[in-house]
Amino acid sequence: MEASSKRGNRMRAYFAIILFSLIFLASVNVNEPFNMTSKTRLWLNEFDVLADDDINLQLWMKQNLDDSSVILVSWGDAGQYIPVIAEKEAIFEFAGDLDSCPLTREHSQKYRDLLKLLEISPDNPIALELLRYFNITHVYVGAKESTRLNSPSTSKVNFPEYTVLNASLLNSARHYKLTYRMGSAWLFEVVYNATVMTAISTCDATVDWFIKKVMF
């Protein structure tokens, strides 16, 4: 008697579980998970900045660049992996610390100013002054840097402060020499010659005013 009651109760429980499942399955659009997966994949691809070209170039950098090299990387570029893969010093802004850490605030502002200038006119003396300020020897442009302009999550419409370095522009500029290119990933060396140094010294005093009042 007790065994049959136990079996009956168990059957009711199973029935309740099946009913419960059916109620939910009825409300599920079967295509939805697949749509969601492709949507998610697309969304994730927007933040997938690392490419095989970047890894190969950074492995080349590990072997061929001097340990004292300092490489400039734009915000969110694959160059953020230079300390990990190439094991060289890189300058880039991590997500986060700008607002709350007064020590890094000034440096971060200069970094942002520098990127803004490099985006428009890489040969600008103020840009060169800021490059010297950070002791930068090389500028890195990742394989997916150019495509990030079109990405909705990283576009300039949503983020006016966002900067994207243009490899072709840097390649045609006078003070940047192409060191190595691996597919779509580029590495430029900054050329500080005597003419540049004179230009820098004359505009030193006006740098801060120029950046704050005119350019931005």
SS (H, E, C) 139-160: EEECCCCHHHHCCCCCCCCCCC
Among 69, 74, 80, 124, binds other proteins (CB under 8 A): 80
How many CB atoms lie under 10 A from the CB of residue 163? Answer: 19
Cα angle: 133, vertex 137, 140; to 5 degrees: 110
Q: Are the CB atoms for 8 and 14 separated by under 8 Å?
A: no
Asked if 9 interacts with other proteins (CB under 8 A), we say: yes
> What secondary structure does DSSP assign to 26-46, as a single string?
HT--TTHHHHHHHHHHHHHHT
Among 7, 22, 48, 62, binds other proteins (CB under 8 A): 48
Q: Which stretch binds other proteins (CB under 8 A): 38-46, 131-139, 171-179, 188-196?
A: 38-46
Q: Are the CB atoms for 131 and 72 separated by under 8 Å?
A: yes
From residue 139 to residue 178, what is the string marking binding to other proteins with x (rule CB under 8 A)? --------------xx---xx-xx----------------
Instruction: Provide the minimum distance between the beta carbon of 205 and other proteins in the complex, in angstroms, as a whole number.
Output: 30
From residue 181 to residue 210, what is the string marking binding to other proteins with x (rule CB under 8 A)? ------------------------------
Q: Which stretch binds other proteins (CB under 8 A): 26-34, 131-139, 163-171, 193-201?
A: 26-34
3-class DSSP assignment, residue 63: helix
Task: Say which DSSP state 95 is in.
Answer: S
Q: Which stretch binds other proteins (CB under 8 A): 99-107, 115-123, 166-174, 183-191?
A: 99-107
CA distance 184 to 51: 9
Instruction: Provide the minimum distance between the beta carbon of 134 and other proteins in the complex, in angstroms, as a whole number.
Output: 18
Q: Which stretch binds other proteins (CB under 8 A): 22-30, 121-129, 168-176, 183-191?
A: 22-30
- CA 163 to each of CA 2, 97, 112, 138, 214: distance values in angstroms, whole numbers, following the listed order: 74, 18, 8, 18, 18
Total binding residues for other proteins by CB under 8 A? 50
CA distance 86 to 71: 11
Site of interaction with other proteins (CB under 8 A): 6, 9, 12-13, 16, 20, 23-24, 27-29, 32-33, 36-37, 40-41, 43-45, 47-51, 55, 75-76, 78, 80-81, 83-85, 87, 94-102, 153-154, 158-159, 161-162
